[in-house]
Structure 1
């Protein structure tokens, strides 16, 4: 299964100029756009003309069947193929408008007369079955646009997965670099404690038992080794990297789990830095946090 981004865009049109099709409402064209950006949940919004408002529930059902997360906006517009030319009311339409106006003014004498713009608007939308005509093609048009957007999200998701794989390899290399540094640091510190023990014995001139001084030095060296040991952090970090790789291979709805694992990676990198006893370990911790932050930004876009 693919990894899907929450970012995508697609559009589709249906009208007199569409190949092999003819607009159901004469010379008008239906255009539909779907835009999607990242969000914690699935957030749908619709901007539809009045003729299509009744079909919003069907569009919502279609989108929820394919999308799990993201802020998704659906826009639809009905345009005229003749470049916005004024409608040509028929004499019958005008007669009906005049008759309706006379009836209304007989009951409501203060009602204002119809203007030219009112007449044009009423004549252009007076065909009562237009909404039903558009509704017959809207589901197929929305399905076409939705499929195109899902494919766009899959392509973007593939790019994000490739970037995450690259960062995972870099993090694993840094962890492997940090692991052999710990025994070296412990041995260096043990040597320092032994030297300090010898200096203390020379200054004490027998006032302190050699065995007690040596035990104290070894105790301090052991405590230091425990304090700077990051083997546990490196092991947990590696297990998180393995789990992230598994999720990327599995695909599907993995964004929330990836976000949690990124938080855990950041925690282990912080702990490694707090235990740092050498400049090299500090540098490794900083480099890890930079890579993890880059991953966090991209994971926010994964469904």
Structure 2
């Protein structure tokens, strides 16, 4: 089987003999596919997490288009390094707190979002000062080493005064706890940093760009092919298929993933067991148009 299905990664070759239903279900499972830029950001995050405490910690803002792999990357990092455990002193440890920014710039809502991650009682009606104190206390009690805030661009929603307040709260947490803070969002999130020059100077920016039609994109398709449980090799990295996939997806990683899963499902269902140009054409409905999905006949 290993020689026959050498186009599939050895971890997934056993799935080829599974039922069509099980193979299609496998396609819907979340899965990490590493690539150079994402791996570099992962290494940067590990380095930040391991830096010794200091009054002015380095922070990071990860930006990219919507559906381009930012949250997947962050959650993969959290799965690897952020799981809770009990240390040698029998104390509970939460190495990473991964929270979502409030839907608008609001200091109180920020603390509530963070407190939710600890699964402890709190009173939303408490004052901002009390919620702030409880947040800091829990971060210290659980020996948190990094705070990650997803949907960071949401902090643009609100008046300039509220934006400054919530960014000052984030700066205070960084200073008080002496831990790195990582923001994750669209490119608009960069504008959040410029509410004050001090905020911009504290954050490095790492971007997950859309893919160009080049050898790196072909290598990405080759890696994707390795996790698709199809009995035949699709040769997704060849010029013709790669060009068509790039045209439909716009180089957006999420669109690439969605297109290939739809095509693989079609290949399993119709029995071709490989993704062909005709199958890609048939499934090109994944192409986005001004934020909407259209079905192309």
Task: Give the TM-score of the pair, scaled to structure 1.
Answer: 0.23
The alignment's TM-score, normalised by the length of structure 2, stands at 0.23
* Greater C-alpha radius of gyration: 1
The structure whose residues are more often helix, as a share, is: 1
